Amino acid sequence: MSFIMVQIGTNLKNIDNSGVKLVKCIGALAGPRQRHASFGSIITVSIQKLRPKRRLFLKVKKGQVMQALIIRTKIPSNNSHNFSFFENSVVLLNNQKKLIGTRIFGCLPKNLRYSKFLRLTFLAKGLVN
């Protein structure tokens, strides 16, 4: 069984209300030769698909390169709680590593409570172990 989380070329779902539906990973920011990223990592993404309504008022455009934080992965995390989600998901960040969206759809892992992205836990509907 392969434990590769997210690598270059992986399609990811966006779960905030920034207007983006689908993004594609084009690089990991952990190091110059970093190929894989896991839960809680910041990656570089290219915007592939936008949500159909309100395209005129969006802050982002198709094909734009941005940074994103990985929130959910299909592969179980390697900490004491081995749980996984049904999809790979991210939230978009700006250049100052602040959230673009103002809401997050769905629940998040409780591990984010102890990271520098504590604000995510307040915007989500709930936390899971």
Summarised one tens digit per residue, pLDDT across range 43-99 is 999 999 998 876 667 888 999 999 999 988 887 766 555 667 788 999 999 999 999
pLDDT confidence bin for 33, thresholds 50/70/90: confident
Tokens of 58: 């969006």
Task: Give the least confident one: 22-26, 111-115, 120-124.
Answer: 111-115
Task: Give the least confident one: 11-15, 28-32, 38-42.
Answer: 28-32
Please provide the DSSP assignment of 52-91 as one string. SS-GGG-S--TT-EEEEEEEE-SSPPSSSS----SS-EEE
Q: What is the mean pLDDT of the chain?
A: 84
| Residues in contact with 21: Cβ distance below 8 Å, sequence separation at least 6, in sequence order | 13, 14, 49, 50, 51
pLDDT confidence bin for 37, thresholds 50/70/90: confident
Sign of CA dihedral 52, 53, 56, 57: negative
Task: Tell me the C-alpha distance between 21 and 75, whole Å.
Answer: 21
**In this predicted structure, what is the pLDDT of residue 1?**
43
Contact 38, 115 (CB under 8 A): no
Tokens of 33: 């030769």
Of all residues in the chain, what percent carry a pLDDT higher than 90? 32
CB-based burial of residue 69 (10 Å sphere; 0-12 exposed, 13-18 middle, 19+ buried)? buried
Q: What is the pTM of this model?
A: 0.85
